[in-house]
Amino acid sequence: MPRKVPVLAATAMAVGALAIGSLPAAAEPSPPGQSPTGGTAPAPEVAPGMLKSISRDLGITTSQARTRLVNERQAAAIEKTLRKKLGSRYGGAWVTGSTSKLTVATTDRRDTRVITAAGATAEVVEHSLAELEAAKEALDRTALNRAPRATSVWAVDVQSNSVLVRAGQPAAAKDFLTRSGAAPELVRVTQSAERPRLYAEDLRGGESYYSNGSTRCSIGFAVTKGGKDGFLTAGHCGKAGAKTTGHNRAAQGTVRARSFPGDDFGWVEANSGWRATPYVKGTGGANVTVSGSQQMPPGSSVCRSGSTSGWRCGTIEQHGATITYEEGTVEGLTRSTVCAEPGDSGGPFISSDQAQGTTSGGSGDCSLGGTTYYQPVSEPLKKYGLTLKTG
């Protein structure tokens, strides 16, 4: 468990339990754009400032940002269809370039016609996604028994068709791989100084909530259960039974359940004075509407909000990463290029209008750049029987 202060705190993104009386800002509809299939697909509604933020943080034009969001929405649908069609031959999918062109991998060259007909670029690879995931699971099992020395991050990297291991000491990492029994040809070890930590400090500012009156974290996505309102957040932000107060220090709710380490999620059931709304706090404080929770493929744009560093954007790198924090190992996180800082824990990650996850931890900062990991929303929603509040 983190110290009293060190908890990932990202209150700003508050899509979850917002104070009574907050009203949504009007969404800024985007004009239609070009879909990966070459046709015109309706663009998802874009929150005020999102195009500008993506343009700024990814170094592209607002026109490219608009097309990118349209293509990514279409890519998620195409990927879902092709994954089912290819079955055991499926090697993963990702988007690349300023406007997010979709690539789908297969282990069988005969599938290329099916892939291109669906509107994606085909890539023939040696290993299926199932093989890579099995190798990654072998590393996970070994880490649960004994955390690897100086090896902090590993995840399936579909673009390199390998399990990518980032290690401060590659020799120690190779010993870890040997103990795991994972096939060496499936794993790629790279030198990395990255040492993820939990963003947890009791700092001022932003739309925050406090656990037991001291630890500050951020509201993630609003949820409902049995007529009660509440929100998702990071599991390391507070133990089950902890009382929470809102950004105004008024009594807010109770942590009903949490999972950390292993996972990094939890949920707070709010008092009657707080209501769930389908919004997260975007750039300039504008509301960003959450419409669903479709997981986006690697390479897609993603933005997050935090009470320390505000609204920041980047791209998704890998899903299903396993992270070794000082406090313990956490599995199933998503690695992103979005920066974050202490005080941003628990805050939401969103791609277009689709909820992706809640901030866990990372490395670096928003001055020099960094890497942040988030806990996908699907697992806590299913485990706790929660319903995501959408607009």
Known catalytic residues are: 236, 264, 345
Which of 209, 231, 219, 225 has its CA nearest to residue 276? 231
Alpha-carbon distance 208 to 288, whole Å? 17
Q: Which 3 state secondary structure label does DSSP give 300?
A: coil
Six token digits for residue 386: 């929660």
Q: Which 3 state secondary structure label does DSSP give 182?
A: coil
DSSP conformation letters of 102-150:
EEEEES-GGGHHHHHHTTSEEEE-SS-HHHHHHHHHHHHHHHHHSPPTT
Six token digits for residue 204: 């001022």
DSSP-derived secondary structure letter, 169: S
Alpha-carbon distance 27 to 7, whole Å? 32
Contact assessment for residue 115 and residue 106, using Cβ atoms and an 8 Å cutoff: yes
Q: Which 3 state secondary structure label does DSSP give 287?
A: strand
31 φψ region: left (φ > 0), alpha (ψ -120 to 50), beta (else): beta
Across the strands, what pairs with 121?
103
Six token digits for residue 7: 């908890």
Q: Which residues are CB-contacts of 261 (< 8 A; sequence separation ≥ 6)?
A: 236, 325, 327, 328, 329, 330
Which of 125, 182, 161, 194 has its CA nearest to residue 335? 194
Distance of CA 245 to the CA centre of its chain: 25
Alpha-carbon distance 260 to 249, whole Å? 25
Q: Which 3 state secondary structure label does DSSP give 186?
A: helix
